[in-house]
Structure 1
Amino acid sequence: MTRYRSLAGFLAFLIGAIGSISSFAAEPLWVGSDPARVRAEALVAALRGASAHGLEPGWYGVSEVEKALLPGADPAVTEALLTAAFVTYASDVSTGRVRANRIDGNIDIQQRRVERSDLLKEAAAASDFSAYLASLSPKGDYPALQKALATWRDKRAKAAFTLLPDGGLLKPGMSDPRVPVLRKRLAELELVMPETGPAPDLYDDKLVAVVKAYQETKGLTVDGVIGAKTTQSLNTTIDDRIEQIVANLERRRWLPEDLGSRYVLVNAGDYSMVFIDGGRTVFQSLVIVGTPKDPTPEIQSVMRGFQTNPYWTVPQSISGEEYLPMLRRNPYALQSAGFKIFENWQDNTELDPASVDWNSISPKAFPYRIRQDPGAGNALGYIFFPFNNRYGIYMHDTANRWLFTEGSRNFSHGCIRLQNPLDFVEKVFDGRNGFSKERVRQVIDGGQQAHYAFPDSVVLHVTYRTVTANTDGTPVFRDDIYGRDRRVVREMAKPRS
């Protein structure tokens, strides 16, 4: 039926479902009356259409449900089968099929939940059951993603796919046998192609312009160079894109319908951040997020203020993996960048780096504390935004502002680097508490460490959406740099526990 791991488990579910009905409903929901028949027909139609949500009708036993509605079927079994199908489908389509936090150690969110008894009560009370079923899924860009799913499934049956061969960097002005293949692949992606010149192998300016347009839409570095990332993106199959849409429909079902009236939404999937206040977008920015090795997690938290000229205390993992090799080559290698090394994590007893045999130190058990002083080269920049989370990440400024010119901005150890942090806090304060961006800049320039509390806290949502929709409904794809979309789809297809 719903792919439970055992018949006993499924029968136990049915008994529980029937018990839930009997606790509040005087009449069966699915059999024995005209209203019940209408509900049953609407439910079968919804189950048949589950694929529009990226769900599979077979997960809800639609064939068994239809057989149970045939004349001569046992009414009690029919009632139980439809009840199980309904509560499973309704839960999946409204809150997600899987428990998000079980998929990946870098997901720690408060997923929407529904009570089975509440769903059954709502079903019994609904005057228009078809409309009620349609209302269960999220709003926002969810319908646009559903439309994109249907479009890409239609493409799968019609579109051609040509693999672009790997090779060295293909730069503007070069001649390469891959150029005709590149033209063919871009045409398959429905991009408007310029006419081929007298030299078919020449990577000319007109073709470079098309590649740059493609790179921009995928969040790649817009340089017209065909390297490993652009080749990988161009070689993403239609099935891969369909899988991405399915994963992002599921991820949207995890989130609350209403994120609040005052919140920051960071999308690590497309390197973006927006600040919503009073239902309006009042600030938006580019961000830098974690590498595939150190991915930015999906979390929910609260931001209450910021600090100027922060110290950066280096996590032990970074100390062992990145700085220990440098110290082995030169004990004083970190001093020029403003780093100090302390004997422990309890006090500020400074250590002479030359007094340590760094070759004897294990990178997995680095015992010392490394801290970088405030300044122009500080990894956190001039502004630091702390917030509670179990990963030890935060939002901050950066000394490497040039990285914001890159398309794929996944360079951090998991933290979120904000492009214009002072402009952001100006919008958060909105003229209250006598806040002045100029005075904060003076504090920064003076090297002072100061703490500022926001007049109202700001809810923070960090998500990973690799497919979103523009205001006109056009889907926007980003490459799945963390591989989470594939894990979501695999988890969705597993049998129920």
Structure 2
Amino acid sequence: MRRAFVVIGLLALLAPLTAAASFASDRLWTGSHAAEARAQALLTAIRAAGDHGLKPEWYRIADLEKALEPGADRDRAEQLLSDAFVTYASDISTGRVRANSIDRDIDIQQRRIDRAGLLKEAADAGDFPTWLASLPPKGDYPALQKTLATLRQKRATAATFTSLPYGDALKPGMIDPRVPMLRQRLAELEMTVPAPSAVAELYDDALAVVVKDYQAAKGLTVDGVIGAKTTRSLNTSLDDRIDQVVANLERRRWLPADLGNRYVLVNAADYSMVFVDGGQPVFRSLVIVGTPKNPTPEIASTMYGFQTNPYWTVPQSISGEEYLPILRRDPHALAAGGFRIFESWSDDDSEIDPDTVDWNAVDPKAFPYRIRQDPGVGNALGYIFFPFSNRYGIYMHDTATRALFAEGSRNFSHGCIRLQNPLEFVEKVFGGRGGFDKERVRAAIDGGQQVSYTFPEPVRLYVTYRTVTANADGEVTFRDDIYGRDRRVVQAMGQPRS
């Protein structure tokens, strides 16, 4: 009996080894016509990695080609091709880099690729080239690929580049030596430029119209004035634009392949927001986002509802950097704006008299007090506040400074997202459900009531930074890289993979 158990035990131990030997005999890339065709399809895709903003050498294309030569070691070929395949498939579907490693203001949980599962899918694919081509994201991704190809073709023709010097603001009606260079630069950007007037250096109204068209296309303030922002945008080279497209192909790969049927997408680079319900855009809005010093992060979260007439608790960094100098000049200066100061961050009974504090002795980097603004017309959050979980302490909200929505470059906040028409957005989210009554909410706002409302179902939120996008017709829009993130993304992509 004991001998029988020994035999059974040995068979159990040998079973995995037998299965492994069987799997090894079924080679994925060599040894049969189907496997070799699969290998050639992979090499073809890797050679065209540039279409995705990637580089063939990242996948050791030269080593792969040598490994498939007649007489080469099959085991080594299998290992090299499997490694290259998993790396390439992961890169084109979920991103070349871990987004969170690039910038502290990026907090995106990318999908993880299962190596064994991916190899099995490749083996089971009836049409491997078609299956491989299906891995990249959909949406505007193909349009960005076409734009990348077009820009590279333009660069290959050695197109001229006229750099516009910085200087004082150039306004219509002025005579300035930069005007001929401005005309040349706009022509290089394929804008239709009118002939100059009798005075070549006159910035005339006809040229100002072209500048305004350019500013509108790039999301700049449309005033015809050539200031620092417009000059910087005009001086963006073809190489810079190519890098932007490469960064935005990567950025799209970070997000889920399918964003879902119901979500909010905020694009900080475009100062825009869209609410998608049932797979269709049902609400769009302008937004105000963070300054370059206090950028709006890239995150994914969920919104569950909103509140009317919120308090605004000032973050410690703002209290120390911006409000402490005011308190040092006049301890009561903040009171006019509805601000109150508390000793505790949790006890509302701990309000203090600002005259009792020696503000000159307070460390701005370790501000110990809680400053809170009461609800009201001047409240920084406006009348509606949308909280959502994130490690940055930002949220979406109304605003008391609505005039800023008329600006082109709307990067004025400390990182939060200011929404232009929050009540209209709420109405779309409820969609007639949950007993929602827009006028009742408006009455609560007007009456100064703090009321919390829960959405009929949670709304997924994606806060992105897409400096290059395409609409449903494939028309591509560029926005200037106000946070300087595109360059960091491209640099990170070129680093060796672990």
Query: What TM-score, normalized to structure 2?
Result: 0.94
Unaligned runs of at least 5 residues, structure 2: 1-17
Distance 1:95 1:22, change over 3 A: farther
Cα distance in structure 2, aligned partners of 1:56 and 1:167? 39
The AA in structure 2 aligned to 1:86 is F
Equivalent residue number for residue 374 of structure 1: 375
**CA displacement 1:335-394 (0-9 Å, x = unmatched):** 111111112213122211112111111100111110101001000000000111111110
Equivalent residue number for residue 5 of structure 2: none
Pairwise mapping of residues 248-397 of structure 1 onto structure 2 (< 5 A)?
248-348=248-348, 349-397=350-398
Distance 1:403 1:25, change over 3 A: farther
The AA in structure 1 aligned to 2:67 is A
Cα distance in structure 2, aligned partners of 1:266 and 1:188? 32
The AA in structure 1 aligned to 2:461 is L
Cα distance in structure 2, aligned partners of 1:21 and 1:330? 78
Cα distance in structure 2, aligned partners of 1:63 and 1:388? 46
Q: Say yes or no: does 1:187 pair with 2:187.
A: yes
Cα distance in structure 2, aligned partners of 1:424 and 1:168? 41
**CA displacement 1:400-419 (0-9 Å, x = unmatched):** 00110111111111100000
Equivalent residue number for residue 240 of structure 2: 240
CA contact (8 A) 1:264 1:458 kept: yes
Cα distance in structure 1, aligned partners of 2:263 and 2:132? 30
CA contact (8 A) 1:44 1:62 kept: yes
CA contact (8 A) 1:267 1:462 kept: yes
Larger Cα-atom Rg: 2
Equivalent residue number for residue 142 of structure 2: 143
- How far does residue 142 in structure 1 lie from its aligned partner after superposition? 0.5
Cα distance in structure 2, aligned partners of 1:132 and 1:366? 56
Q: Which 10-residue stretch deviates more, 24-33 or 399-408?
A: 24-33
Cα distance in structure 1, aligned partners of 2:385 and 2:133? 44
Pairwise mapping of residues 70-219 of structure 1 onto structure 2 (< 5 A)?
70-158=69-157, 159-219=159-219
**CA displacement 1:322-345 (0-9 Å, x = unmatched):** 000011111111011111111221
**CA displacement 1:234-269 (0-9 Å, x = unmatched):** 001111100010010011111111111111011111
Distance 1:23 1:231, change over 3 A: farther
Cα distance in structure 2, aligned partners of 1:52 and 1:82? 20
RMSD: 1.4
SS in 1 for 2:165: coil
Distance 1:168 1:258, change over 3 A: same
Equivalent residue number for residue 60 of structure 2: 61
Unaligned runs of at least 5 residues, structure 1: 1-18
Equivalent residue number for residue 52 of structure 1: 51
Cα distance in structure 1, aligned partners of 2:154 and 2:279? 36
CA contact (8 A) 1:219 1:478 kept: yes
Cα distance in structure 2, aligned partners of 1:186 and 1:266? 30
Q: Which 10-residue stretch deviates more, 25-34 or 222-231?
A: 25-34
SS in 1 for 2:324: helix
Cα distance in structure 1, aligned partners of 2:20 and 2:173? 71
**CA displacement 1:59-93 (0-9 Å, x = unmatched):** 00111111111112111111111111111111111
Q: Say yes or no: does 1:27 pair with 2:23.
A: no
The AA in structure 1 aligned to 2:366 is A
Distance 1:22 1:374, change over 3 A: farther
SS in 2 for 1:417: strand
- How far does residue 431 in structure 1 lie from its aligned partner after superposition? 1.2
- How far does residue 193 in structure 1 lie from its aligned partner after superposition? 0.8
**CA displacement 1:434-454 (0-9 Å, x = unmatched):** 212111111111111111111
Equivalent residue number for residue 12 of structure 1: none
Query: What TM-score, normalized to structure 1?
Result: 0.95
- How far does residue 21 in structure 1 lie from its aligned partner after superposition? 8.4
Equivalent residue number for residue 43 of structure 1: 42
CA contact (8 A) 1:21 1:120 kept: no
Distance 1:494 1:309, change over 3 A: same
Cα distance in structure 2, aligned partners of 1:268 and 1:305? 22
Cα distance in structure 1, aligned partners of 2:278 and 2:35? 43
Equivalent residue number for residue 429 of structure 1: 430
Post-superposition, which runs of at least 4 consecutive aligned residues in structure 1 deviate over 4 A?
A: 19-26
- How far does residue 26 in structure 1 lie from its aligned partner after superposition? 4.5
Equivalent residue number for residue 480 of structure 2: 479
Question: How many residue pairs were aligned?
Answer: 479
CA contact (8 A) 1:20 1:117 kept: no
- How far does residue 25 in structure 1 lie from its aligned partner after superposition? 6.2
CA contact (8 A) 1:25 1:124 kept: no
**CA displacement 1:273-318 (0-9 Å, x = unmatched):** 0001111111010001111111111111111111110110101110
Cα distance in structure 2, aligned partners of 1:471 and 1:91? 26
Cα distance in structure 2, aligned partners of 1:210 and 1:102? 41
Equivalent residue number for residue 16 of structure 1: none
The AA in structure 2 aligned to 1:181 is M
- How far does residue 471 in structure 1 lie from its aligned partner after superposition? 2.2
CA contact (8 A) 1:305 1:453 kept: yes
SS in 2 for 1:334: helix
- How far does residue 470 in structure 1 lie from its aligned partner after superposition? 2.2
Cα distance in structure 2, aligned partners of 1:337 and 1:382? 15
- How far does residue 420 in structure 1 lie from its aligned partner after superposition? 0.2
- How far does residue 474 in structure 1 lie from its aligned partner after superposition? 2.2
